[in-house]
């Protein structure tokens, strides 16, 4: 049989439990909008006592303050964030490149643009428009091969074309260089996060050693940091018994307690690609996703692929034009000059001699001023199929390069859309498990408040009983 004082103790414990319950509810409500917060719950366990005859209920005690979360969902969100950042990082870079190419469709300007003869000298636009102008001016020259005005226009259009080749090449190289700088900044951000995770590891281990239960709020903050790190580089986590988490990137452990095991840096490899390695151990790390993975792919695959395509195109175009031009004669009967100089898209230019004196253009096959056979041969390049360009002519060959580049961006857009839908679904799922519901918390608040009031009533009753018991003796 429990004593009156024993019962009073049970109620006192209950008052404390309900107070804790109200405190946790308040904490939940205060963090209803906090990013990365997982709701907490007071887990109560009923208590018992054996008095020699009966097993009696002795109220309740707090088992733990539980952090409600799902490890599986956390992992999936981590991976989804890595993939999403990788895709968006690459897309952002390629969007900039697409704008730099200047290959924009403007149907309103086409009708007003007219023909080569009526177009302004050095008209702006993408390479496609300039190629059309080059061949258009050659077409106009067939009608008047010795015209100084048309020859001058051919030189200007050709120089604009060469400038566009050079500008495209320079734009890609500049963008590749910007990507290197961005990767260095991202690596620095990753190092900051790795340091924070390492510090939190120490605090969590320390908290959990000193007190029973888990350091829920610090675990939330650590999980948030891990997810931010996953956005930068794909990673793996291992939960340790002491409450710490070990983070590995590309198979290399980076976190520690309390200092990081190592830090990351990006660098340009001897092969010219963007690489990553640990600073102290100089160990190469393969980062397949996250922003760093996306930047590396954008720089070394997409941009480098485009640069190689445009460079091969420029060299083929330059050699084809030069081969034909060299065989012709200019208005003074000279022969053998190249039309373009340079060795790649980076340095292609119209022969300075021709720019200064367009009569040096070698359009005649026999030295007579009205012969235009070489001009015809040059014009035929617009339709001659080149086996090195999947049997396409120069105009279609360039369109194909642009088409493939556009497809890459479109593919990324689609993948980002799909990935975002997955992300929203996972976040919704996590909200449903870990998110705070104010309605639920209000209900809990009432529940704890009423339980508190009830326990207080029991104490009142016990007090009255004790007074009665005392008055028996008086």
Q: Which of residues 28-67 bind another protein (CB under 8 A)?
A: 32-33, 39
To another protein, the closest distance from the beta carbon of 263 in angstroms equals 34
User: What is the chain's percent helix, strand, coil content, to nearest 5?
Assistant: 65, 10, 25
- For the four alpha carbons of 305, 308, 310 and 313, in that order, the dihedral sign comes to negative
The stretch near another protein (CB under 8 A) out of 72-80, 100-108, 158-166, 222-230 is 100-108
Identity of the residue, 17 or 128, whose beta carbon is nearer to another protein in the bound complex? 128
Identity of the residue, 103 or 351, whose beta carbon is nearer to another protein in the bound complex? 103
H or E, element range at 350: strand 349-350
Cα 436–Cα 243–Cα 73 angle in degrees, nearest 5: 45
Quote the CA–CA distance of 185 and 92 in Å, as a whole number. Answer: 16
433 binds another protein (CB under 8 A): yes
Quote the CA–CA distance of 340 and 67 in Å, as a whole number. Answer: 71
Identity of the residue, 407 or 460, whose beta carbon is nearer to another protein in the bound complex? 407
To another protein, the closest distance from the beta carbon of 370 in angstroms equals 3
333 binds another protein (CB under 8 A): no
CB 29 within 8 A of CB 443: no
457 binds another protein (CB under 8 A): no
342 binds another protein (CB under 8 A): no
Which tokens sit at 206?
């320390």
To another protein, the closest distance from the beta carbon of 265 in angstroms equals 33
N-terminal to C-terminal alpha carbon distance within the chain:
25
**C-alpha dist (Å) from residue 264 to 31, 237, 279:** 33, 17, 6
The stretch near another protein (CB under 8 A) out of 54-62, 77-85, 251-259, 374-382 is 374-382
Cα Rg of the chain (Å, integer): 38
Beta-bridge partners for 48? 57
110 binds another protein (CB under 8 A): yes
Q: Which residue has the tokens 């009156």?
A: 4
Pick the binder of another protein from 85, 103, 176, 215 (CB under 8 A): 103
Pick the binder of another protein from 113, 217, 236, 304 (CB under 8 A): 113
To another protein, the closest distance from the beta carbon of 419 in angstroms equals 13
282 binds another protein (CB under 8 A): no
370 binds another protein (CB under 8 A): yes
CA 95 from chain centre, in angstroms, equals 13
Identity of the residue, 258 or 406, whose beta carbon is nearer to another protein in the bound complex? 406
Identity of the residue, 147 or 344, whose beta carbon is nearer to another protein in the bound complex? 147
409 binds another protein (CB under 8 A): yes
107 binds another protein (CB under 8 A): yes
Going by the DSSP 8-state scheme, the letter that residue 264 receives in this structure is: E
């Amino acid at each position: 049989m429990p004593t009156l004082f024993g019962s009073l103790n049970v109620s006192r414990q209950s008052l404390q439990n309900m107070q804790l319950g109200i405190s946790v509810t308040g904490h939940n409500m205060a963090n209803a909008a906090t990013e990365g917060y997982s709701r907490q719950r007071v887990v109560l366990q009923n208590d018992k006592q054996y008095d020699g005859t009966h097993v009696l209920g002795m109220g309740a005690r707090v088992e733990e303050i539980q952090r409600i979360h799902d490890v599986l969902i956390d992992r999936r969100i981590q991976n989804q964030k890595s993939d999403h950042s990788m895709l968006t990082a690459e897309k952002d870079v390629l969007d900039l490149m697409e704008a730099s190419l200047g290959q924009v469709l403007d149907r309103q300007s086409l009708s007003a643009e007219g023909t080569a003869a009526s177009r302004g000298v050095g008209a702006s636009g993408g390479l496609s428009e300039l190629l059309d102008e080059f061949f258009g001016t050659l077409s106009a020259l067939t009608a008047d091969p010795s015209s100084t005005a048309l020859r001058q226009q051919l030189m200007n259009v050709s120089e604009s074309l060469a400038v566009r080749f050079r500008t495209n090449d320079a734009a890609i190289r500049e963008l590749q260089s910007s990507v290197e700088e961005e990767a260095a900044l991202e690596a620095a951000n990753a190092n900051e996060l790795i340091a924070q995770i390492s510090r939190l590891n120490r605090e969590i281990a320390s908290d959990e050693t000193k007190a029973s239960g888990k350091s829920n709020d610090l675990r939330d903050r650590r999980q948030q940091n891990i997810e931010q790190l996953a956005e930068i580089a794909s990673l793996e986590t291992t939960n340790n018994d002491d409450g710490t988490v070990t983070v590995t990137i590309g198979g290399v452990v980076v976190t520690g307690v309390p200092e990081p095991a190592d830090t990351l840096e990006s660098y340009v490899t001897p092969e010219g690609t963007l690489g990553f390695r640990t600073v102290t151990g100089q160990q190469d790390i393969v980062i397949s996703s996250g922003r760093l993975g996306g930047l590396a792919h954008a720089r070394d695959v997409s941009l480098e692929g485009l640069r190689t395509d445009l460079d091969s195109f420029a060299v083929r175009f330059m050699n084809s034009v030069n081969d034909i031009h060299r065989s012709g004669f200019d208005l003074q009967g000279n022969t053998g000059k190249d039309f373009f100089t340079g060795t790649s898209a980076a340095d292609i230019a119209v022969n300075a001699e021709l720019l200064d004196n367009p009569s040096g253009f070698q359009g005649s096959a026999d030295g007579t001023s009205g012969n235009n056979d070489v001009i015809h041969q040059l014009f035929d390049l617009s339709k001659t199929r080149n086996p090195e360009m999947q049997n396409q002519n120069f105009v279609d060959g360039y369109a194909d390069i642009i088409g493939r580049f556009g497809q890459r961006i479109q593919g990324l857009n689609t993948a980002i859309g799909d990935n975002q839908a997955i992300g929203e679904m996972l976040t919704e799922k996590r909200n449903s498990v870990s998110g705070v519901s104010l309605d639920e918390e209000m209900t809990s608040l009432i529940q704890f408040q009423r339980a508190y009031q009830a326990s207080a009533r029991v104490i009142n009753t016990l007090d009255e009983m004790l007074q009665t018991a005392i008055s028996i003796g008086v």
